[in-house]
């Protein structure tokens, strides 16, 4: 008997993933036969009362290890489930050039779909709905005749296409492929009453959902491997009440899956249980017999699908952390994992790529993607000087999974801080088009704007640009200076951009005019004359203009002079030339020294020990710490025996 799916709390759905239903088979001439899913689908849906046109192509994500099974209560017997025909589709929305549509054609003719967008602030969706195998169709999809219209993106006037990932290495120019398996605990079957085919679709829908943005953002296509639905949890231990099974051991070569499926390898295996979240190891995948591991939950409010939690935990397996980089682009699948979000941020991509550099060799390489997707515009960060125009090479780190050339399509002409942006054709590296940014005069802080890129197929992506606008910028900072006490002069200097005024400081206090002792306290170069011990300290310079002030790095001034001398005159009593107030004498301790007379100045010490504990100076830290700006310790040493530590020292 057909069973109806339960769906609750649809208000929890949000941001970029669109999930929806069919829109009516009105024209019988173009009706589709859901029992025999066609190779292509073209039709219209409604978005907020407006027509949107989908162009879809059937796409299988069943991998080389694909198979769906019931595991019987003995924990050993596997019963195959007939998965039926491939019902997953990928395509685009003709009216929205940054879209990628992932859909599943249900046996009753309903089309469950997600529309993935390139910007988390631009989204539309409807919650998923799945009636039983023979339930009445909702009919929210209208088949449409005619040829598909290509995505509508166009390059900016006078813009030219350039090679994607121009400033990135080969890892950003290759799409990888990995297998994902699911081990679904008996809790799931106890909570639902789905048909066999519906169970298969839950797993296929998860994989199709992953690929909706994994290929575009992460350059990774995942395929569905083995799926096990357990009729009991026989064979598994339950060490934790919440997380249940011994999922920790699922990656080992001797794990339970290896017993069930000898010789079958997966890159990732997710255990699906009745939990409110998930756990996963980070950057965990490895070679044959060593799958990455995660434990994920499902939600009754999303139709008992588990892709929502699973995609986040898979992100951990791939190498990403939570809230990577402080979430600079807002919500993503690893930053909050809002159920509608369908984008990865640049810090997350960089973490995943870093893991892939070490482990990516265990995955398959496809070269370019196996289906068309929009490009990916990476977050750009720049520094700029208030009031000083700057060229921004925004395309250098943008890439395209299909290897399609990319170009600037459009951009905000005014920034959040009040700066302006214009287009500059062919003036960037390798004659790339760039954006010319003019920071607002008299302002500093964080500025931001967005831009759009387009590939040769007309698909687009929205990128974020963040700029730190500095008051002024040091081209060089003051360097430490060491001169003899009484030296004729000592000099500190800086070079800077956009500085209206300079002010030098010593030990945090501004230097007032004192022409008989120093000059240049209000210029780029400070010069001190007849340098004395009293001049020692830490110096820095502060630049100012109408936008504010900025300080340089600090640099010490040190005078060279003798502050202590241990002459080793028989009893090791030290003598200190007390030129520095606060210094005091210290006494050394010797382990059975042998004194000799043939030294340079006074008597020397001969060491005849083998344990490395010849000479100590108690409380020496107190002696040296009074002089924090630096000192040099020197002595001479003559070795007369290469057995042990024997020699002369003064």
Give the dihedral sign, CA 506/512/518/519.
positive
Residues 372 and 458: beta-carbon distance below 8 Å: no
DSSP 202-247: HHHHHHHHHHHHIIIII-EEEEEEEEEEESS-TT----BTTTBS-G
Sheet strands side by side (includes 111-116):
111-116, 96-105, 88-93, 50-58, 40-47, 142-143
Task: Quote the longest CA-to-CA distance of the chain.
Answer: 117
Residue 569 CA to residue 116 CA, distance in Å, equals 84
Query: How close are the terminal C-alpha atoms of the chain, in Å?
Result: 100
Whether 591 shows a pLDDT value over 50: the answer reads no
Structure tokens at 264: 């079958």
Which has more confidence, 352 or 6?
352
| Most confident option among 93-107, 282-296, 617-631 | 93-107
pLDDT above 70 covers a percentage of the chain that reads 75
pLDDT at 209 over 60: yes
Q: Is the predicted pLDDT of residue 596 greater than 80, yes or no?
A: no
* pLDDT at residue 238, rounded to an integer: 59
pLDDT value of position 19: 37
Tell whether the model's pLDDT for residue 649 goes beyond 50: no
Q: 44, 325, 88: which is closest to 212 by C-alpha?
A: 88
Other beta carbons within 10 angstroms of residue 302's beta carbon come to: 21
Contact by Cβ (8 Å): 620, 584: no
Q: Which of 13-22, 380-389, 430-439 has the highest mean pLDDT?
A: 430-439
What pLDDT is attached to residue 434?
98
CB 122 within 8 A of CB 1: no
| Predicted local distance difference test score (pLDDT) of residue 583 | 43
Identify the residue with better confidence: 244 or 383: 383
Mean pLDDT across 389-411: 97
Report for 15-29, 334-348, 495-509: range of highest mean pLDDT: 495-509
pLDDT digits (tens, 9 = 90+) for 180-205: 999 998 989 999 888 898 899 999 99
Q: Where are the beta strands (DSSP E) in 371-412?
A: 380-385, 390-392, 406-411
State pLDDT tens for residues 456-479: 999 999 999 999 998 888 999 999
Average pLDDT over residues 406-429: 97
pLDDT number for residue 305 = 87
Intervals of CATH 3.40.390.10 along the chain: 61-84+167-367
Distance CA(72)–CA(605), nearest Å, equals 85
- Residue partners of 480: CB distance under 8 A and separation at least 6: 555, 556, 557, 558
Residue 250 has pLDDT above 90, yes or no: no
In which element (H, E) is residue 310 found? helix 307-318
| Cα separation, 132 vs 135, whole angstroms | 5
Among 150-154, 229-233, 555-559, 579-583, the range scoring the smallest mean pLDDT is 579-583
Average pLDDT over residues 253-281: 80
Whether 403 shows a pLDDT value over 60: the answer reads: yes
Query: What is the model's pLDDT at position 608?
Result: 53
Structure confidence at residue 31 as a pLDDT band (50, 70, 90)? confident
Is 281 within 8 Å of 316 (Cβ atoms)?
yes
> Is the per-residue pLDDT at 365 higher than 50?
yes
Using the predicted structure, report yes or no on whether residue 625 has a pLDDT greater than 60. Answer: no
Quick: pLDDT tens for 226-246.
Answer: 999 999 877 666 555 555 555
Quick one: fold of 473-560?
A: Immunoglobulin-like (2.60.40)
Instruction: For the chain, give the mean pLDDT.
Output: 81
Identify the CATH homologous superfamily for domain 375-470: Immunoglobulins (2.60.40.10)
Alpha-carbon dihedral sign for residues 149, 54, 219, 462 = positive
Query: Which pair of structure tokens corresponds to residue 221?
Result: 């296509």
Estimate to the nearest angstrom the gap between the alpha carbon of 14 and the chain centroid: 23
Instruction: Please report the pLDDT score of residue 122 as a whole number.
Output: 59
Q: Is the pLDDT of residue 12 over 50?
A: no
What does DSSP assign to residue 332?
B
Residues found in the chain: 650
Residue 121 CB neighbour total at 10 angstroms: 11
Q: How much of the chain exceeds pLDDT 90, in percent?
A: 50
Q: What are the DSSP calls for 401-461, one per residue?
A: TT---EEEEEE-SB-TTS-EEEEETT-SGGG--EEEEEPPTT--EEEEEEEEEEETTS-EE
Per CATH, domain 61-84+167-367 is 3.40.390.10: yes
Amino acid 245: pLDDT = 53
């Amino acid at each position: 008997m057909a069973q109806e799916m339960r769906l609750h709390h649809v208000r929890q759905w949000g941001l970029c993933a669109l999930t929806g239903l069919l829109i009516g088979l009105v024209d019988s001439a173009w009706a589709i036969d859901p029992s025999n899913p066609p190779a292509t689908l073209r039709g219209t849906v409604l978005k907020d009362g407006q027509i949107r046109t989908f162009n879809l192509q059937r796409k299988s994500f069943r991998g080389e290890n694909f198979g769906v099974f019931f595991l019987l209560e003995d924990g050993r017997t596997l019963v195959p489930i007939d998965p039926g025909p491939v019902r997953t589709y990928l395509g685009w929305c003709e009216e929205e050039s940054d879209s990628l549509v992932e859909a599943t054609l249900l046996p009753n003719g309903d089309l469950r779909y997600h529309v993935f967008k390139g910007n988390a602030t631009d989204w539309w969706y409807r919650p998923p709905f799945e009636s039983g195998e023979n339930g009445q169709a909702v009919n929210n999809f209208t088949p449409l005749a005619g040829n598909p219209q290509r995505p509508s993106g166009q390059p900016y006037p006078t813009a030219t296409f350039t090679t994607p990932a121009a400033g990135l290495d080969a890892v950003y120019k290759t799409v990888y492929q990995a297998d994902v398996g699911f081990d679904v605990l008996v809790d799931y079957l106890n909570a639902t009453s789905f048909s066999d085919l519906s169970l298969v679709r839950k797993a296929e829908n998860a994989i199709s959902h992953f690929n909706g943005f994994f290929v575009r953002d992460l350059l990774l296509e995942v395929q569905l491997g083995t799926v096990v639905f357990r009729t009991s949890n026989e064979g598994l231990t339950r060490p934790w009440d919440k997380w249940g099974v011994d999922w920790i051991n699922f990656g080992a070569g001797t794990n339970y899956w290896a017993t069930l499926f000898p010789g079958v390898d997966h890159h990732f295996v997710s255990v699906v249980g009745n939990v409110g979240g998930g756990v996963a190891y980070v950057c965990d995948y490895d070679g044959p017999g060593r799958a990455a591991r995660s434990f994920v939950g499902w939600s009754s409010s999303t139709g008992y699908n588990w892709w929502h939690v699973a995609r986040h935990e898979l992100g951990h397996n791939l190498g990403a952390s939570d809230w990577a980089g402080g979430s600079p682009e807002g919500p993503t699948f690893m930053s909050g994992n809002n159920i509608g979000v369908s984008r990865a941020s640049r810090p997350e991509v960089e973490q995943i790529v870093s893991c892939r550099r070490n482990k990516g060799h265990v995955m398959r390489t496809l070269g370019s993607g196996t289906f068309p997707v929009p490009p990916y515009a990476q977050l750009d960060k720049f520094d700029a000087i208030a009031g000083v125009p700057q060229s921004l090479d925004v395309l250098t780190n943008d890439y395209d999974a299909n290897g399609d050339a990319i170009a600037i399509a459009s951009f905000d002409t005014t920034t959040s801080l009040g700066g302006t942006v214009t287009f500059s054709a062919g003036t960037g590296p390798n004659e790339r088009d760039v954006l010319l940014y003019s920071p607002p005069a008299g302002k500093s802080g964080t500025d931001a704007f967005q831009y759009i890129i387009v590939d040769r197929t007309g698909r687009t992506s929205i990128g974020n640009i963040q700029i730190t606008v500095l008051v002024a910028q040091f081209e060089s900072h003051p360097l430490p200076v060491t001169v003899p006490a009484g030296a004729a002069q000592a000099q500190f200097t800086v070079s800077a951009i956009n500085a209206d005024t300079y002010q030098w400081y010593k030990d945090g206090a501004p230097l007032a005019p004192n022409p008989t002792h120093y000059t240049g306290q209000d210029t780029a170069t400070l010069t001190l004359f007849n340098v004395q011990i009293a001049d020692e300290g830490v110096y820095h310079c502060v630049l100012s203009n109408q936008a504010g002030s900025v300080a340089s790095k600090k640099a010490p001034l040190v005078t060279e002079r003798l502050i202590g001398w241990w002459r080793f005159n028989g009893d090791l009593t030290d003598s200190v030339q007390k030129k520095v107030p606060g210094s005091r004498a210290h006494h050394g301790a010797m382990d059975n020294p042998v004194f000799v007379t043939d030294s340079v100045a006074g008597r020397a010490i001969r060491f005849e020990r083998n344990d490395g504990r010849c000479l100590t100076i108690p409380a020496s830290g107190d002696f040296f710490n009074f002089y924090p700006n630096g000192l040099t310790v020197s002595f001479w040493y003559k070795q007369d025996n290469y057995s042990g530590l024997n020699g002369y020292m003064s």
